């Protein structure tokens, strides 16, 4: 029994006395997770590590970015094609069905199923750049953002560019034929996938790039080949049908199967290559793609132009198209006003008149001459337009400034989440898209707004206006039958309007999904729809793959599985479960993601108090959600509405503390000078022990220390007692370098971590405090270290663990000391650890007394990277550079926005500077990597693998604990501060 238990019931949701369980709650018979014999069958088939069976695992995979929620029976973490084929074979034999899920950003339930759900994200990432970037071989779990990062050095990019590129995977993009802002009908997956490898429902693997693919397919699947060619002949014999199919794809259209694949392909494999694109996992598993990439035209000119009405904006779209615009994006008044919740969007947009509509217009050019020509054409268009500037921030100007352009796109891409985040609490969000002939865009906008208002919905419209593609949102309470009926009536009217009035596409780029499946025949007619059913039966005769996702004869199928949204903690309540937060989350591949932490919380609130499902979810939540959250809060940076799930987990940690733990933490803060000295002595003693007791595979001392800390962790609690790691360095020097207050340009604050820990084993050079003092003096910008820094701290130690009293005490002590050291803010305070800079500059503020908050406002807190880049580099002479350096940007650098300064200083020290494409938060998080070693191991796996593919002369960062974490991940490469490397590089010969 641990000596210190978490406070009982601390994580239990607080409910009102009249709390009623939700109708869509997980039933009690599911409380124990995956039933037998399914569990044992799959564990025997694949191994226990690939099969997730806990009820908490099933629930966290049950929600995606759509308004639907279906609880799978089991989740399989497939590692390769063999695993997928084995599961498909099992499903055939036992009459089960299978759904594939990658990022879960699909907006219409394509990533959900009620039986076997296969995760094809975790083990399926990878990009291989081919032919100097002209092609790329991509695995389905790779995000579009990561793919384009790999292609950017070659001046290339993918054609599809969905707004969710930061989170959505290429597998999902191809499966849905998603397009985005610029793809239109010519740059989407159907047009730019050169070849793909897929697994049929039968388990047959087909690589369409294989010259012998048709021969192999004819041997393995003769009936399929015969059936495909028969369907092709039947379609081609009907000239009216051929004309109809061709006409349907003149607009953006992802509703149903790509029937033009039968017209474009001449062999069974060619037909399948086309059919698989946009098939939404219903015809096979897409295992790998080779894309033809497109030129990345880097010279960009962008403008955000405001019009008095929707019709005025729509009328201007063709003119911008004629001027050569790559994209023309429309945002109506409701969208613009809702966007103020997005960081960086001008707050005065909230005051825009409802009728105001904006067009975001972008021109991309290969060279300066073309850019000048397009800008001139754009200005000629603008001269004839009746633009408005109803609020001060509106300029209606074309700009080349990357920061301004990025802010415009951030507002546009956040349409779903920004508008969705401002919806009434407890409501479900529906996101739909459709396309009409671009010439009828204004008419369609007006008709849509009128229809929404007529059914009592707040209208909000945005879209890819250049292609006649509009998006809209609906929010309603799925737990309220009247609200559901209102939504159903709207959908009936909307679908009829789109098809009968505009002959449009019910799905322009989001793919059919569960919401439009019942309306497929309305758009395509009975003949074409029956061809789609026949195609499905031909490729998947047993109906194993994704039933109900694309084809469904039930006219009310879209009303089944709609999820209720119980109100949770205020910080997380706006979440629409979009999944943008997941790729940045350090625990993504270990336990849960920010979205899943909220999803689990909502299920607890759907349950009756004390239900077995709720209790089992709570039993898992402590470790899966709270303990293994790194607390880095980068999720808030990628969430369009800024939800900080890390802060919520810290609040849960605080809630779990017993009064005794809080008092102990406060005493630690009060007497931190003694704690600091004791910690340094303990590190010194440990260092002596491991040096005196060497061994063959690591030191005997290290093994003894790991055993001692392991025993203590069992006796106390793993979340309180750190575990020993061999990469923990020797202690820092007992004394800091001598400095003078006189003529100092800044106060230098060595963070407590740099006062306790020294440099990595084998490092030869000045310590960080010595390097900072030396290089600052060398640049003529001397720094002063106060004599009484011992016992002060940025307070992150307490803040990250949720110890409120200790955090408050240290935060106020730190600010008072900084005020005194800097003569009331006259000098800047330079901090040598990025996480501590963030702590002092931002995180302490909520815990300060009113008086100290005023003092804090006068302080200038400067990270050592910024100090080095802005104050030192211009005054230094580089004497020698190493050949290569690899950088680890930390999560605190992302918050501070000084990753560029890390690169700038490193470039002064090395001829080649590399930032790994898979760099992310190391999850060491102060000491969390010592409390949960598995968290850092998981978070750093991809970055460490990338770093390990070659050797570098220097391994650099600017945060000591992160450097320890990266050393642990990469096999002790000797990560150290870029400030130390700068001192070496500028040292006089």
Which tens digits make up the pLDDT trace of 192-208? Answer: 999 999 999 999 999 99
Structural contact between residues 966 and 957, judged by C-beta atoms closer than 8 angstroms:
yes
Structural contact between residues 336 and 356, judged by C-beta atoms closer than 8 angstroms:
yes
pLDDT tier at 771, thresholds 50, 70, 90: very high
**What residue spans in the chain does CATH classification 3.40.50 cover?**
871-985
For residue 127, give the nearest of 298, 293, 296 by alpha carbon: 293
Please give the Cα distance from 461 to 354 (Å, whole number).
12
**What residue spans in the chain does CATH classification 3.30.465.10 cover?**
127-295
For residue 284, give the nearest of 543, 539, 81, 549 by alpha carbon: 539
Tell me if residue 774 falls in helix, strand or coil: helix
Sheet holding 398-399, edge to edge: 398-399, 299-307, 357-365, 327-331, 461-464, 469-476, 428-435
pLDDT tier at 813, thresholds 50, 70, 90: very high
Whether residue 699 is predicted with pLDDT greater than 70 in this model: the reply is: no
Q: What is the CATH number of domain 127-295?
A: 3.30.465.10
The DSSP H or E segment spanning 712 is helix 700-715
Strands 469-476 and 428-435 come out as: antiparallel
Q: Cα-flanking dihedrals φ and ψ of residue 20, to 5°?
A: -115, 140
Task: Name the CATH architecture for the domain at 300-510.
Answer: 3-Layer(aba) Sandwich (3.40)
772: tokens are 């900072």
Please give the Cα distance from 390 to 357 (Å, whole number).
11
> What would the pLDDT profile of 52-110 be if each residue is shown by its tens digit?
999 999 999 999 999 999 999 999 999 999 999 999 999 999 999 999 999 999 999 99
Whether residue 339 is predicted with pLDDT greater than 70 in this model: the reply is: yes
Count Cβ atoms within 10 A of the Cβ of residue 491 and give its class: 0-12 exposed, 13-18 middle, 19 or more buried: buried
Q: Which pTM does this prediction carry?
A: 0.94
Q: Cα-flanking dihedrals φ and ψ of residue 329, to 5°?
A: -110, 135
115: tokens are 């039986």
Fold of 871-985: Rossmann fold (3.40.50)
Point out the least confidently predicted range of 7-11, 466-470, 535-539: 7-11
Average model confidence (pLDDT) across the chain: 93
Give the end-to-end CA distance of the chain in Å, rounded to a whole number. Answer: 61
Q: Is there a cis peptide before residue 87, judged by omega within 30 degrees of 0? A: no
pLDDT tier at 688, thresholds 50, 70, 90: confident
Whether residue 345 is predicted with pLDDT greater than 70 in this model: the reply is: yes
Contacts of 813 (CB under 8 A, 6+ apart): 669, 792
For residue 233, give the nearest of 256, 257, 263, 258 by alpha carbon: 263
Contacts of 14 (CB under 8 A, 6+ apart): none
The percent of the chain in helix, strand and coil, each rounded to the nearest 5, is 45, 15, 40
For residue 417, give the nearest of 257, 577, 653, 645 by alpha carbon: 577
For residue 561, give the nearest of 29, 115, 114 by alpha carbon: 114
Looking at mean pLDDT, say which of 209-218, 398-407, 676-685 comes out highest: 209-218
Whether residue 2 is predicted with pLDDT greater than 60 in this model: the reply is: no
For residue 280, give the nearest of 539, 512, 44, 553 by alpha carbon: 512
What are the angstrom distances between the C-alpha of 685 and each of 680, 691, 731? 9, 10, 9
Sheet holding 135-138, edge to edge: 127-130, 135-138, 284-292, 193-200, 205-207
pLDDT score for 577: 94
Tokens 């069976």 belong to which residue? 53
E strands present in 816-917: 829-831, 861-863, 882-887, 910-914
For residue 585, give the nearest of 625, 557, 556 by alpha carbon: 625
What are the angstrom distances between the C-alpha of 187 and each of 180, 295, 377? 10, 11, 24
> What would the pLDDT profile of 581-613 be if each residue is shown by its tens digit?
999 999 999 999 999 999 999 999 999 999 999
The DSSP H or E segment spanning 167 is none
> What would the pLDDT profile of 149-169 be if each residue is shown by its tens digit?
999 999 999 999 998 999 999
Structural contact between residues 255 and 512, judged by C-beta atoms closer than 8 angstroms:
yes
36: tokens are 């037998």
pLDDT score for 189: 97
Beta-carbon count within 10 A of 481 CB: 10
Tell me if residue 818 falls in helix, strand or coil: helix
What are the angstrom distances between the C-alpha of 716 and each of 668, 707, 813? 17, 14, 30
Sheet holding 882-887, edge to edge: 910-914, 882-887, 954-957, 976-977
Rounded percentage of the chain residues whose pLDDT exceeds 70: 96
Structural contact between residues 581 and 643, judged by C-beta atoms closer than 8 angstroms:
yes
117 DSSP β-pair partners? 75, 99
pLDDT tier at 879, thresholds 50, 70, 90: very high
E strands present in 28-155: 51-52, 74-77, 98-101, 116-119, 127-130, 135-138
Whether residue 824 is predicted with pLDDT greater than 60 in this model: the reply is: yes
The alpha carbon of 422 is separated from its chain's Cα centroid by a whole number of angstroms, namely: 20
**What residue spans in the chain does CATH classification 3.40.462.40 cover?**
300-510
Please give the Cα distance from 415 to 143 (Å, whole number).
20
Please give the Cα distance from 914 to 983 (Å, whole number).
20
Structural contact between residues 255 and 516, judged by C-beta atoms closer than 8 angstroms:
yes
Tell me if residue 287 falls in helix, strand or coil: strand
> What would the pLDDT profile of 383-436 be if each residue is shown by its tens digit?
999 999 999 999 999 999 999 999 888 888 777 777 777 788 899 988 899 999
E strands present in 56-96: 74-77
Please give the Cα distance from 703 to 713 (Å, whole number).
15
User: What DSSP string runs through 34-67?
Assistant: SPTTHHHHHHHHH-GGGEE-SHHHHHHTSB-SSS
Whether residue 856 is predicted with pLDDT greater than 90 in this model: the reply is: yes
886: tokens are 């690899």
Tokens 């690939």 belong to which residue? 50
């Amino acid at each position: 029994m641990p000596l210190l238990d978490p406070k009982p019931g601390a994580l239990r949701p607080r409910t009102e006395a009249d709390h009623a369980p939700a109708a869509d709650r997980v039933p009690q018979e599911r409380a124990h997770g995956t039933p037998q014999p399914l569990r044992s069958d799959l564990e025997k088939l694949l191994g226990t590590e690939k099969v997730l069976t806990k009820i908490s695992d099933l629930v966290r995979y049950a929600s995606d970015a759509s308004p639907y929620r279906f609880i799978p029976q089991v989740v399989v973490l497939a590692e390769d094609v063999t695993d997928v084929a084995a599961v498909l074979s099992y499903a055939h034999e036992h009459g089960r069905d299978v759904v594939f899920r990658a990022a879960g950003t699909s907006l219409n339930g394509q990533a959900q199923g009620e039986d076997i759900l296969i995760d094809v994200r975790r083990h399926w990432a990878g990009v291989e750049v081919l032919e100097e970037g002209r092609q790329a071989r991509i695995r389905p779990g790779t995000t579009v953002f990561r793919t384009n990062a790999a292609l950017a050095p070659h001046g290339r990019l993918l054609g599809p560019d969905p707004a969710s590129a930061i989170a959505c995977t290429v597998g999902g993009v191809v499966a849905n034929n998603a397009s985005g802002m610029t793809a239109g009908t010519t740059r989407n997956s159907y047009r730019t996938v050169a070849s793909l490898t897929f697994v049929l429902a039968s388990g047959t693997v087909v690589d369409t790039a294989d010259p012998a693919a048709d021969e192999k397919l004819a041997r393995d699947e003769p009936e399929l080949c015969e059936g495909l060619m028969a369907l092709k002949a039947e379609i081609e014999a009907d000239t009216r049908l051929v004309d109809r199919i061709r006409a349907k794809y003149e607009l953006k259209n992802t509703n149903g199967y790509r029937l033009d694949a039968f017209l474009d392909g001449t062999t069974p494999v060619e037909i399948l290559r086309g059919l698989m694109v946009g098939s939404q996992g219903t015809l096979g598993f897409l295992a790998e793609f080779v894309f033809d990439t497109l030129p990345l035209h880097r010279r960009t000119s962008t403008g955000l132009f405001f019009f008095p009405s929707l019709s005025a904006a729509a009328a201007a779209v063709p003119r911008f198209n004629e001027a050569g615009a790559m994209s023309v994006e429309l945002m109506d008044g409701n969208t613009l006003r809702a966007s103020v919740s997005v960081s960086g969007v001008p707050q005065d947009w909230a005051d825009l008149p409802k009728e105001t509509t904006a067009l975001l217009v972008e021109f991309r050019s290969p060279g300066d001459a073309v850019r000048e020509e397009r800008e001139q054409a754009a200005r000629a268009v603008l001269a004839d337009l009746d633009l408005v500037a109803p609020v001060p921030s509106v300029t209606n100007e074309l700009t080349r400034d990357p920061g301004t352009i990025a802010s415009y796109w951030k507002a546009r891409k956040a349409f779903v989440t920004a508008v969705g985040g401002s919806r009434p609490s407890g409501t479900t969000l529906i996101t739909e898209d459709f396309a009409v002939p671009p010439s009828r865009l204004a008419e369609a906008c007006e008709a849509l707004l009128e229809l929404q208002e007529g059914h009592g919905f707040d209208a909000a419209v945005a879209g890819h206006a250049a292609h006649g593609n509009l998006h809209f949102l609906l929010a309603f309470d799925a737990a309220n039958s009247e609200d559901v009926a209102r939504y159903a009536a709207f959908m009936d009217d909307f679908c009829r309007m789109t098809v009968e009035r505009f002959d449009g596409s019910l799905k322009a780029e989001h793919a059919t999904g569960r919401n439009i499946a019942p309306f497929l025949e309305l758009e395509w007619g009975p003949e074409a729809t029956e061809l789609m059913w026949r195609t499905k039966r031909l490729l998947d005769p047993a109906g194993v793959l994704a039933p109900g996702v694309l084809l469904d004869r039930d006219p009310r199928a879209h009303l089944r599985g709609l999820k209720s949204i119980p109100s949770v903690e205020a910080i997380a309540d706006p979440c629409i479960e979009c999944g943008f937060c997941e790729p940045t989350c350090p625990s993504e591949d270990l336990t849960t993601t920010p979205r899943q932490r909220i999803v689990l919380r909502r299920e607890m609130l759907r349950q009756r108090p004390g239900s077995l499902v709720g209790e089992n979810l709570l039993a898992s939540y402590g470790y899966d959600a709270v303990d293994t959250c790194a607390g880095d809060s980068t999720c808030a940076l990628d969430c369009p509405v800024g939800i900080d799930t890390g802060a919520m987990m810290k609040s849960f940690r605080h809630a779990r503390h017993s009064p005794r733990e809080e008092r102990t933490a406060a005493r630690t803060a009060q007497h931190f000078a003694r704690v600091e000295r004791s910690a340094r002595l303990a590190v010194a003693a440990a260092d002596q022990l491991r040096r005196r007791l060497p061994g063959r595979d690591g030191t005997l001392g290290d093994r003894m220390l790991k055993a001692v800390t392991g025993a203590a962790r069992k006796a106390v609690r793993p979340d309180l007692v750190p575990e020993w790691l061999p990469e923990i360095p020797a202690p820092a020097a007992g004394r800091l370098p001598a400095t003078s207050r006189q003529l100092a340009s800044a106060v230098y604050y060595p963070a407590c971590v740099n006062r306790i820990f020294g440099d990595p084993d084998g490092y030869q050079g000045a310590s960080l405090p010595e390097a900072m003092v030396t290089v600052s003096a060398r640049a003529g910008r001397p720094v002063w270290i106060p004599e009484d820094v011992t016992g002060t701290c940025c307070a992150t130690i307490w803040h990250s663990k949720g110890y409120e009293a200790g955090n408050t005490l240290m935060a106020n002590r730190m600010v008072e000391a900084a005020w005194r050291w800097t003569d009331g803010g006259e000098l800047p305070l330079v901090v040598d650890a990025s996480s501590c800079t963030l702590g002092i500059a931002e995180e302490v503020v909520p815990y300060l007394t009113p008086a100290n908050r005023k003092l804090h406002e006068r302080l200038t807190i400067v990270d050592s990277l910024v100090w080095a880049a802005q104050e030192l580099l211009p005054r230094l002479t580089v004497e020698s550079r190493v050949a290569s350096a690899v950088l680890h940007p930390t999560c605190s650098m992302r918050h501070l926005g000084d990753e560029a300064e890390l690169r700038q200083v490193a470039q002064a020290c090395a001829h080649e500077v590399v930032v790994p494409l898979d760099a992310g938060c190391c999850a060491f998080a102060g000491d969390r990597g010592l409390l949960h070693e598995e968290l850092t191991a998981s978070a750093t796996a991809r970055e460490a693998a990338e770093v390990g593919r070659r050797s570098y002369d220097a391994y650099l960062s600017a945060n000591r604990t992160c450097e320890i974490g990266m050393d642990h991940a990469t096999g002790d490469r000797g990560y150290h501060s870029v400030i130390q490397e700068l001192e070496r590089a500028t040292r006089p010969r």
